[in-house]
Amino acid sequence: DVKVTQSSRYLVKRTGEKVFLECVQDMDHENMFWYRQDPGLGLRLIYFSYDVKMKEKGDIPEGYSVSREKKERFSLILESASTNQTSMYLCASSLWGLAVRETQYFGPGTRLLVL
Amino acid sequence: KQEVTQIPAALSVPEGENLVLNCSFTDSAIYNLQWFRQDPGKGLTSLLLIQSSQREQTSGRLNASLDKSSGRSTLYIAASQPGDSATYLCAVEYNNRKLIWGLGTSLAVNP
């Protein structure tokens, strides 16, 4: 079974803090994704990566950056957290190819509260 | 504009009922369509993926159909159980590699 793990289930941070969300997958997947999910807005893609050290902006990259130094790990960084970044953050991975093309496997999510 | 709409937003049914969830999309140039399940406060689990050349996919009590010409997909759940209670999301990947998500249908199956 594919396993995608996220470093925290719940996180509380203060405005202006630098926040790191970590995601690890154990199936040698090429693609990894970061989404945020908000009521009434659904899932929105922040960034994705199709290879080590490669990254592509999604639909809402502002205020975020990412890092992929190893194939299995994809980090989402909030450079200076703001209250409007309070959300559920979901990491996903998929097998190969550019962008999507294959089914995505999701982690359990990190619910981030920025005060 | 490429959009995905799921109706209804919420559904409550008694256990044992057969039910249909709907997903409609505005652009027929799709590559594939996926149905996911999300339990409260948790991540998503892929249920079925239908390629654009396919008409339907089945997994156990679930059957998903795809009609590109009308821009619709349905997820049929047979003999529903309380354990089926969750939010069901539809995601459409278009040929331009954009993946568009619906907002989901929240399903409650009552014992």
- Say yes or no: A99 contacts chain B, CB-CB below 8 A: yes
In A, which residues are within 8 Å of B45 by CB distance? Answer: 106
pLDDT tens, position by position, B26-83 = 988 898 999 999 998 888 999 999 989 999 999 999 999 999 999 999 999 999 999 9
The H-or-E segment that residue B98 falls in is none
pLDDT at residue A99 in the model = 47
3-class SS at A1?
coil
- Report, as an integer, the average pLDDT of A9-35: 95
From the CA atom positions of chain B, what is the Rg in Å? 13
Q: For A83, list phi and psi in degrees, rounded to 5.
A: -60, -30
Enter the tokens of residue A55. 């990254």
pLDDT at residue A2 in the model = 66
The minimum CA-CA distance between A89 and chain B, rounded to whole Å, is 9
pLDDT tens, position by position, A56-90 = 999 999 999 999 999 999 999 999 999 999 999 99
The span from the CA of B63 to the CA of B65, in Å, is 7
Over 90: is that where the pLDDT of B103 sits? yes
- Say yes or no: A107 contacts chain B, CB-CB below 8 A: yes
pLDDT at residue B107 in the model = 97
Cβ atoms of residues B76 and B66 within 8 Å: no
Q: What is the band of B94 on the pLDDT scale with cuts at 50, 70, 90? A: confident
Q: What is the band of A96 on the pLDDT scale with cuts at 50, 70, 90? A: low
The span from the CA of B10 to the CA of B22, in Å, is 11
CA distances from B41 to A64, B12, B15, B27, B96 (A): 23, 19, 23, 31, 31
Is there a contact between A90 and B43 if contact means CB atoms under 8 Å apart?
Answer: yes
Enter the tokens of residue B31. 């590559």
CA distances from B100 to B1, B14, B33, B71 (A): 11, 31, 10, 14
Is there a contact between B43 and A4 if contact means CB atoms under 8 Å apart?
Answer: yes
- Say yes or no: B93 contacts chain A, CB-CB below 8 A: yes
Over 70: is that where the pLDDT of A16 sits? yes
- Say yes or no: B92 contacts chain A, CB-CB below 8 A: no
